[in-house]
Amino acid sequence: MAEPMKRLPKLPVERALKVISGRWKPVILYYVFSGPKRLSELKRMMPAITQKVLIQQLREMEEHGLVTRQVFAEVPSRVEYSATELGLELEPVLLALCRWGQRHAEANDEAGMIADCIVRPRHISTVAA
């Protein structure tokens, strides 16, 4: 599956946009920023996405190192998707895009039509001394 990685652009900003582009990737990341999610949870959170597209987007993000897929040895098997450290670095970027989207809506007198930007709490594994 290394072929898609070879096709990524060399210009860093273009590469970044290519990796997170698409209708669903930013939304999926938004939900996994707060912690691991099962496929069924993500599907419930995004009822407009098909399961096929959700799986495709998760696989692409896994390939690019934004999410990890953990399979638990249970019956029935359980799979959870989590943001990686690299993926978590996109949180302030997506929050900035969200805030810009709010300002854009306000400038076009559509502020009442959009949702708030929500900063999701994360569990911090280490505390700075």
Query: What CA–CA distance (Å, rounded) separates 34 from 69?
Result: 15
- Environment class of 83 (CB within 10 Å of its CB; exposed 0-12, middle 13-18, buried 19+): buried
CB 33 within 8 A of CB 120: yes
Q: What is the pLDDT of residue 121?
A: 57
Q: State the pLDDT at residue 1.
A: 46
Architecture (CATH level 2) of domain 3-113: Orthogonal Bundle (1.10)
Domain range list for the chain: 3-113
- What is the pLDDT at residue 2? 47
- The reported pLDDT for the residue numbered 55 is 96
Task: Map residue 71 onto helix, strand or coil.
Answer: strand
- Give this prediction's pTM: 0.80
